[in-house]
């Protein structure tokens, strides 16, 4: 009688069937297919903070510069921390126009970099603050 119990207990402890394993793998694959693009989008949005922070620092530095000089500066080395690179290096910074009363600074994703495919391609700031002149630009600055 103990042999019958031993044989039946071995059958119940065999493990997973192939069908159960395929179902589990397919569920994991579906979850990964949904989660990975959402993760990439979140990372891309978080990297936008690099452009925003760098431009806000340029704006503050421009105001400091303007308080001691007759006009805003075109030279990034006078106002930027890392020269033409943003703080984390995902964007290229530039000051395209400056005068005694205004300036325009931009942050453009580095070509071939991780932000190159971002829908928010260029961030712009002036002496009045971020350029949110249309809905798309406003959405980018709001992340």
The per-residue pLDDT for range 2-53, each reduced to its tens digit, is: 555 555 555 555 688 889 899 999 999 999 899 988 898 888 888 889 999 9
Mean pLDDT of the chain: 85
- Asked if residue 98 is part of any domain, the answer here is yes
- Asked if residue 1 is part of any domain, the answer here is no
The total number of structural domains that make up the chain:
1
Q: Which of 100, 120, 106, 99 is nearest to 44 (CA)?
A: 120
Q: Which of 95, 30, 32, 3 is nearest to 58 (CA)?
A: 95
Structural domain for 119, as ranges: 48-141
- Asked if residue 5 is part of any domain, the answer here is no
- Asked if residue 102 is part of any domain, the answer here is yes
pLDDT for 120 equals: 84
Q: Are 70 and 84 in contact (CB under 8 A)?
A: no
pLDDT for 26 equals: 94
- Asked if residue 78 is part of any domain, the answer here is yes
- Asked if residue 77 is part of any domain, the answer here is yes
Place of tokens 């340029």: 58
- Asked if residue 79 is part of any domain, the answer here is yes
Q: Which tokens sit at 122?
A: 């260029």
- Asked if residue 41 is part of any domain, the answer here is no
CA atoms of 108 and 36, how far apart (whole Å):
25
Mind giving me the DSSP string for 75-87? -HHHH-SBTTB-S
């Amino acid at each position: 009688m103990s042999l019958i119990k031993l044989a039946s207990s071995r059958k119940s402890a065999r493990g997973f069937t192939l069908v159960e394993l395929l179902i589990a793998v397919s569920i994991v694959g579906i979850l990964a297919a949904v989660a990975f693009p959402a993760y990439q989008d979140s990372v891309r949005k978080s990297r936008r903070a690099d452009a925003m922070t760098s431009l806000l620092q340029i704006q503050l530095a421009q105001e400091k510069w303007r308080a001691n000089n007759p006009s805003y500066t075109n030279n990034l080395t006078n106002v930027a921390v890392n020269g033409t690179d943003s703080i984390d290096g995902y964007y290229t910074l530039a000051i395209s126009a400056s005068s005694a009363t205004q300036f325009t600074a931009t942050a453009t994703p580095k070509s071939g970099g991780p932000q190159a495919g971002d829908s928010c391609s260029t961030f712009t700031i002036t002496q009045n603050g971020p350029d949110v002149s249309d809905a798309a630009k406003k959405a980018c600055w709001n992340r």
